[in-house]
Amino acid sequence: MLKSILAVARLHLEELFSRILGYIMRRFLRSAMIVFSWFVVPYSRYTNIKVLRRKLPPIRSHLLEIPAVDLAKLIRTRKIKSEEVVEAYIERCRQVNPLINAIVQDRFEEALEEAREIDNVIAMGINSVDSMEELTPLLGIPVTVKESIAVKGMTNQAGRVFKTPQIAKSDAPVVEQIKRSGGIILLVSNTPELCLLWETYNNVTGQTKNPYDLKRTPGGSSGGEAALLASGASLLGLTSDIGGSSRLPAMFSGIWGHKPTPYAVSFRGHHPTSDFPKWGDFFTIAPMTRYAKDLPLLLKCMSDPTGPKLTLDRAISVNGIRFFFMDNDGPSGMMRPLSRDLHAAINRVATDFNAKRVNIRKMKWSLDISLSAMLTMKNIETIYHKTEEGEQPKTVCKETVKYFFGCSDSILPSVIFGHLQNFMKIIPNSRHKHLASIIEALKTEFKEMLGNDGVFLYPTFPNTAHQHYQIYHKLLEPMYMAIFNTLGLPVTNCMIGLDRRNLPMGIQVVANPGQDHLCLAVAREMERRYGGWVRPPSEDSHSSNGSSKQRG
């Protein structure tokens, strides 16, 4: 009897300690962000003094503004040639990359040769149009790939500094599938070192800039892809997502990014990786497109034949979908409230779709449960693990000292990631168990609320694209996105207009596992209602003026 009483008392004490520890951590982190802002904001403004107020060259070729679904049909039916399309995209890349700095390595000549071969095969009439549509739906379409995803013969070091360039010896499974579907790989694009930041810069390629304002970031870690897509230099992109790495760049750049149901797309062939058994619960390779109508096509071509089957061809009426929404993370006070324009835009979307406002109280734990789940995963590839042959492994303390003396090859997130992992080890297991129980409770709540015909509307980020480096005092806000990696739910960032600065605004559409088709159906409807991608301001005054027509 006494043992039972003591055991119960111990559990209550552990829970009380867990809550106190959580409160202290949350207050500390919010205070730290305030202090960081004192240094980050002035530094950001100082570095932007050097950035010229330039705009992109205008888009001249009509081929650059045709969605992939329509472009593929035109190629199959010999209305246009793949070579013409690839040439147009290569020319656009050469125009914009000196300004946005998004390309790590190109394969333009090889892509042109592949396009000519495809045109020859089509001209010979070996396969029928229907057969090409079924077996090679991307035939002749250029595709760009985040550099952290392996493309045979191309650099594949995820922004890390190596004395000897790291070249992919084989294609990632998802790249193989794109090639089998007829896609032509055009280039690999920039990413922060080991994809560890929601901004895109590293010590190899440098900093990628937002096409809507070069003084601002396109987000990260898939910022290279987003910048190319938004500037009209790409149409379809392969990215990755573990904490919003596909969705934040999509929002900041006014395009569409989807995090699929876990394991629906193979996560292999990517840096960083992990042999942790549940790595695929959180991490996935993800599609990013300029047009919402292209998301189902690209995701279908990317889907792992051995993974969960997605019903992407299923016809869906938005009228039959139930909508729910929240415009904050609950009563936690942890994440910043939305900007005025974003708050108005998201509530307008909720009204337009007759969404029911809900109060999922456990969302206030988004930060705690996401950090606990992700930072306790073992054997994640970091700068402290994989090194070049003959090089001594790096240590956390030594690399930290080197960084602050300006001697490290790495960027700050890569350096401090080791400290975060070590910090998580000192947190009592009871705390992690308590947070794990909240995760399971949230999964159940979403499952029951959404069923197989419901979606949840939620902010992607509380503000539109900010100036470079300002993410360092907003490191809590990506939990608006990371929570859905933690819960294993499919989610799409949707473009819903421009704010008063003519910067893109976005919203997340979330569904239950396996219900990706609901997210994509809503995305297509939002594109129809709100217009979707808008040309970034260009040297052509007419294009610049036109971009203001879709303000939220």
* pLDDT score at 481: 98
Q: Stretch 188-205: mean pLDDT, rounded?
A: 98
In a domain, 30, yes or no: no
Residue span of the structural domain in which 187 resides: 63-384+394-530
* pLDDT score at 12: 64
CB-facing half-sphere around the CA of 209: CA atoms within 13 A: 20
In a domain, 376, yes or no: yes
Q: Indicate if the pLDDT at residue 386 is higher than 70.
A: no
* pLDDT score at 546: 44
Q: For 291-338, how does the pLDDT look when each residue is reduced to its tens digit (9 = 90+)?
A: 999 999 999 999 999 999 999 988 899 999 999 999 998 876 678 899
Helix axes 366-375, 429-450, angle to 10 degrees: 120
Q: Is beta strand 256-259 parallel, antiparallel or unpaired with respect to 491-498?
A: antiparallel
Q: For 129-159, how does the pLDDT look when each residue is reduced to its tens digit (9 = 90+)?
A: 999 999 999 999 999 999 999 999 999 999 9
Name the residue with higher pLDDT: 309 or 21.
309
SS3 of 95-135: the string is HHHHHHCCEEEECHHHHHHHHHHHHHHHHHCCCCHHHHHHH
* Residue numbers annotated as active site: 146, 221, 245
Span of 35-44, 194-203, 431-440, 533-542 with lowest mean pLDDT: 533-542
**Distances in whole angstroms, Cα of residue 338 to Cα of each of 92, 198, 360, 460:** 35, 18, 18, 10
In a domain, 552, yes or no: no
* pLDDT score at 551: 56
Closest CA to 270 of 368, 179, 360, 156: 156
Closest CA to 55 of 202, 192, 232: 232
In a domain, 536, yes or no: no
Cα separation, 347 vs 263, in Å, equals 33
- CATH number, position 229: 3.90.1300.10
Q: For 442-482, how does the pLDDT look when each residue is reduced to its tens digit (9 = 90+)?
A: 999 999 999 999 999 999 999 999 999 999 999 999 999 99
Q: For 479-525, how does the pLDDT look when each residue is reduced to its tens digit (9 = 90+)?
A: 999 999 999 999 999 999 999 999 999 999 999 999 999 999 999 99
Cα separation, 464 vs 143, in Å, equals 27
Cα separation, 215 vs 548, in Å, equals 19
- H/E element, 324: strand 322-325
Q: Stretch 409-436: mean pLDDT, rounded?
A: 89
Longest distance between any two alpha carbons in the chain, whole Å: 86
Question: What are residue 103's phi and psi, to 5 degrees?
Answer: -95, 130
Is the distance from CB of 461 to CB of 336 less than 8 angstroms?
Answer: no
Helix axes 295-302, 68-76, angle to 10 degrees: 70
Token pair of 366 as six digits: 């988004």
Q: Is beta strand 184-189 parallel, antiparallel or unpaired with respect to 142-146?
A: parallel
Residue 462 burial (CB count, 10 A) = 19
How many domains does the chain contain in total?
A: 1
Task: Strands of 499-549 (E only): list them.
Answer: 504-510
Name the pTM for this structure: 0.95
Query: Residue 315 burial by CB count (10 A; 0-12/13-18/19+): exposed, middle or buried?
Result: exposed
Cα separation, 374 vs 385, in Å, equals 17
Q: Indicate if the pLDDT at residue 374 is higher than 50.
A: yes
Cα separation, 367 vs 428, in Å, equals 17
**Distances in whole angstroms, Cα of residue 201 to Cα of each of 33, 100, 419, 542:** 21, 11, 21, 32
**Distances in whole angstroms, Cα of residue 73 to Cα of each of 68, 120, 132, 137, 307:** 8, 16, 9, 9, 28
Percent of the chain with pLDDT over 90: 81
Is the distance from CB of 82 to CB of 139 less than 8 angstroms?
Answer: yes
* pLDDT score at 488: 98
In a domain, 431, yes or no: yes
Q: Scanning the structure block, which residue is given the tokens 């109508």?
A: 293
Q: Indicate if the pLDDT at residue 550 is higher than 60.
A: no
In a domain, 53, yes or no: no
Token pair of 118 as six digits: 């495809």
Is the distance from CB of 476 to CB of 34 less than 8 angstroms?
Answer: no
* pLDDT score at 29: 84
Token pair of 149 as six digits: 């995803």
**DSSP per-residue letters across 255-269:** SEEEEPSTTSB---S
Binned at pLDDT 50, 70 and 90, residue 398 comes out as very high
In a domain, 541, yes or no: no
* pLDDT score at 331: 72
Mean predicted lDDT score pLDDT of the chain: 93
Q: Indicate if the pLDDT at residue 13 is higher than 90.
A: no
* pLDDT score at 548: 41
Q: Please, which residues have CB within 8 angstroms of residue 434's CB and are 6 or more apart in sequence?
A: 14, 15, 18
Terminal Cα distance for the chain, rounded: 64
Q: For 56-81, how does the pLDDT look when each residue is reduced to its tens digit (9 = 90+)?
A: 999 999 999 999 999 999 999 999 99
For residue 548, the 8-state DSSP code is G
| Residue ranges in 326-376 assigned as alpha helix (H) | 340-352, 366-375
Q: Stretch 230-246: mean pLDDT, rounded?
A: 97
Token pair of 47 as six digits: 């570095």
